[in-house]
Amino acid sequence: MARKDRKQLFHLQNRSLVAMTTPKSPIAEQYRTVRTNIQFSTVDDEISSMIVTSAGPGEGKSTTAANVAVVFAQQGKKVLLIDGDLRKPTAHYTFKVDNHAGLTNVLTRQSTLSQAAKHTDQENLYLLTSGPIPPNPSELLASKGMKQMIEDAKREYDLVIFDTPPVLVVTDAQILSNAVDGVVLVVSSGKTELEGAKKAKDALLQSQAKILGTVLNNKKQQDGQYYYYATK
């Protein structure tokens, strides 16, 4: 990788983890608002697992998943962030860790969850990267091994967060949506079309997913860029 490309990637990583690098910033505060609304989205049941997805690519779902994981960890919860995008994984870049072993290794029983999960620079936050990209992502995510791994993770961690591929691109998010307690759908201001957002919501509901709410990001305001949370 060229020096210029490495420098751009470094700045992108730091900007992506704004809740960790600049916790007093307005954007970090908005992520804490998202955290609060997720906690109050269900009255009777505590959320212990969820997925973060979007309608299409490039709408900020990976950034949102990472920062929401950070703010929950900052609250004192033991959090596991799982890169469930087995097609275009990015979490290992965001957290600057290797991706030699991860989710695919656990699902194929080449590794245990405790062996594959990595510490991050954020206290209480652990990361399970995607691992090697498999030829059959959807089959792995729908396997009995995945259901067992989720149960194992929920016993070990207070909160399990999956970053999954966009709903309208592949079926992966739908597959995982009814195996967790809830779904957060990310939409991008000026990019996500209304019809696309509706189709993504309908697809998730058809999979019997529980939609916790929607995060609207990249909404330009006079004072900068903010993230908002809206209930379904």
Q: What is the mean pLDDT of each run of 10 residues along the chain (232 residues)?
A: 44 69 93 93 84 92 96 98 96 95 96 96 97 95 95 97 94 93 88 81 93 81 47 43
pLDDT of residue 100: 94
Picking from 16, 101, 31, the residue whose alpha carbon sits closest to that of residue 62 is 16
The residues near 90 (Cβ < 8 Å, ≥ 6 apart) are: 62, 83, 163
Determine the residue type at 54: S
List the beta bridge partners of residue 229. Answer: 215
Tell me the CA distances in angstroms from 137 to 65, 80, 103, 176, one per residue in order.
20, 20, 11, 12
pLDDT of residue 190: 67
Provide the H-helix boundaries in the chain: 3-16, 18-21, 26-39, 61-74, 91-94, 103-107, 113-116, 137-141, 144-156, 172-177, 194-206
CATH number at residue 202: 3.40.50.300
Question: Following DSSP, what letter does each residue of 79-106 receive, concatenated?
Answer: EEEEE--SSS--HHHHTT---SSSHHHH
pLDDT of residue 77: 97
Range of the domain at 95: 3-230
Q: What is residue 50's three-state secondary structure?
A: strand
CB 87 within 8 A of CB 133: yes
CB 173 within 8 A of CB 53: yes
Number of domains in the chain: 1
The predicted model scores a pTM of 0.88
